[in-house]
Structure 1
Amino acid sequence: MTWVTEVRRRRVGLLGGTFDPPHIGHVVAAMSVGEALDLDEVWLVPAGDPWQKRDRRVTPAGVRLALTEAAVDGVPGLGVSDVEVRRAGPSYTIDTVDQLRADDPERDLVLIMGRDAAAGLPTWERHEELVAAVELALVDRAGVMPADRPAPDLGGGARAHVVPMRRIDVSSTELRHRAAAGLPLVPLVAPGVAALVARHGLYRDPEPV
């Protein structure tokens, strides 16, 4: 008799963003999804060319990559992918997913996003292909979301999970303003992130209102 043992496919979460700078809210979101869905790892993916942020100044991609690496340094289960920083052109999530699936076809990908971002998903490049290619993990960054709250209908046969997340009142915009005002960033960001912000002199000029 031949015994066939099913090999469990690795499941990796992807949390994309500008991460300008990355903060404790990003880390908590990644950890919450990783634990709730029993993912093998969650990668933060800094956008190389964030096409949705072209209305403001954005820190160079290489610096934001270093900030993101500092944000997850020493956090079990979290990592950083430079796939979008290395790729030229606008950072479309579907291109990232296509590349990561080609790199390892045996790996399942879970795309992490806030409920607010999910509402705008139809505006994303090739969004129907995207929802067909990944699972979606939806977190509510505005507050605690009940675990039994249904996921929104995203169409295209989307496989969506709703993941509760504790309230974290912090944003990258707020942190840039704090840095411009000379206010401390820790503990809203990891000490390594704050050190890099100081070293590179980031966010010293107030943003236009």
Structure 2
Amino acid sequence: MNVNTLVKSVIQANPAVESNESQKKKRIGILGGTFNPPHTGHLIIAEQVTSQLDLDEMLFMPDALPPHVDHKDAIAAAERRKMVELSIAGNPLFSLETAELERGGVSYTFDTIVELKKKHPDYEYYFIIGGDMVAYLPKWHRIAELVKLVHFVGVARANFPRKSDYPVMWVDIPLIEISSTQIRWNIQHNCSIKYLVPEDVVHYIKEEGLYLE
């Protein structure tokens, strides 16, 4: 009897074994975005979801080229990646995921999740989306298959209902309205971005002269 057959026999004889094996799966959150730039709001969302869902790790995943977002103002991927690294450096549960940057081109969540699950079949993924994006789920690439591969986590936002035809886990987050668009505007108009983004990111933006044009 080979090892695989032996394991199957043990599970069939002891259903609790299968349950225990399932419980050993790592619970991994994913916060994707352009991060142009990353800001305090991203960190608050990541921390609250990680804590409330008792996740083992939260991945910050910058996209190379988002399929549904106006990316005209997006700076180089290398600079966005560096700012994410600076933002999450102080939290041992936060990590950088570069799958979409490495693949390049338009970033479809379905393709990314399939790739990640091939690399880590023992991971259970929780993909964070804003409450304003939940209504767009029917338009997502291969959504019917995607919902079978990942848990969607909806972050509640003011004036957006908590409802969807797809399974969405809702998490309450402090409603702090910080946007990358507003931060870029502040920089271009010589207004402070202190406390809107982590201090190390403030220094990096100034040193590199980002968003001045």
- Structure 2 distance, partners of 1:165, 1:37, is 12
3-state SS of 1:177 partner: helix
* Structure 2 residue aligned with 1:128: 144
Structure 2: tracts of 5 or more residues without a match? 1-9
- Structure 2 distance, partners of 1:183, 1:141, is 26
CA deviation profile, 1:15-61 (whole Å, cap 9, x unmatched): 11110001011111111111111000111110011222345221111
* Structure 2 residue aligned with 1:19: 35
3-state SS of 2:148 partner: helix
- Structure 1 distance, partners of 2:188, 2:84, is 20
* Structure 2 residue aligned with 1:161: 169
In angstroms, what is the RMSD of aligned CA positions?
A: 2.0
* Structure 2 residue aligned with 1:51: 67
CA contact 1:141–1:168 (8 Å) conserved in 2: no
Cα separation, partners in 2 of 1:153 and 1:51, compared to 1, 3 Å: closer
- Structure 2 distance, partners of 1:154, 1:200, is 44
CA contact 1:24–1:190 (8 Å) conserved in 2: yes
- Structure 1 distance, partners of 2:78, 2:66, is 13
Q: 1:199 aligns with which of 164, 186, 207?
A: 207
- 1:34 maps to 2:39: no
CA contact 2:31–2:61 (8 Å) conserved in 1: yes
- Structure 1 distance, partners of 2:113, 2:136, is 18
The alpha-carbon deviation at position 192 of structure 1 amounts to 1.3
Aligned AA (2:191): L
* Structure 2 residue aligned with 1:75: 91
The alpha-carbon deviation at position 75 of structure 1 amounts to 1.9
3-state SS of 1:53 partner: coil
Structure 1: tracts of 5 or more residues without a match? none
Cα separation, partners in 2 of 1:61 and 1:55, compared to 1, 3 Å: closer
Aligned AA (2:182): E
Which one has a larger percent helix, Structure 1 or Structure 2?
2
TM-score norm. by structure 2 comes to 0.85
The alpha-carbon deviation at position 165 of structure 1 amounts to 0.4
CA contact 1:49–1:61 (8 Å) conserved in 2: no
Aligned AA (2:137): L
* Structure 2 residue aligned with 1:88: 104
Aligned-pair identity (%): 32
